[in-house]
Amino acid sequence: MPYDALMGFMPLFHVFSGGGYPPAMKKYVRAFQHLSLPAPGRGSSGVHESGFGHFNPKTLNLGKEQIPTITVVDDTFDKYRDVMAEIIQKAKGRGGQ
């Protein structure tokens, strides 16, 4: 969980937790999407604690505050390359925002 004392020397977190400090999170640090999010397709997280979730093909599970991240599991490269390409294209379109 990010808090102000960490933000000075830890500029990257694995989750966006803007609950207590949204302006500081947006200004001083960045977060990527946690790799336990569902992968394209059947929604496996690849993380045993997390199991399965719902992958949303409309939003591509992209959060507006996080650095886009793709969860890759056993069938992602074989069956969902097109979805991966779409996520990468959307990430490129953000241009470092």
48-92 confidence digits (pLDDT tens): 667 788 899 999 988 888 888 898 888 999 999 999 999 999 999
- What pTM value is reported for the model? 0.77
Mean pLDDT, range 20-43, rounded to an integer: 81
The count of domains in the chain is 2
CA–CA dist 48, 17 (Å, integer) = 22
- Which pLDDT score is estimated for 58? 94
Residues 52 and 21 in one domain: no
Helix (H), strand (E), coil (C) string for 14-80:
CCCCCCCCHHHHHHHCEEECCCCCCCCCCCECCCCCCCECCCCCCCCCCCCCCECCCCCCCCHHHHC
Looking at the structure, do residues 13 and 52 belong to the same domain, yes or no?
A: no
Predicted pLDDT at 1: 64
Res. 38: pLDDT tops 60: yes
Domain co-membership, 27 together with 2? yes
Q: Which domain covers residue 4, as residue numbers?
A: 1-31
Mean pLDDT of the chain: 83
Q: Are residues 65 and 49 in the same domain?
A: yes
Q: Are residues 15 and 46 in the same domain?
A: no
Question: Same structural domain for residues 48 and 23?
Answer: no
Q: Are residues 24 and 47 in the same domain?
A: no
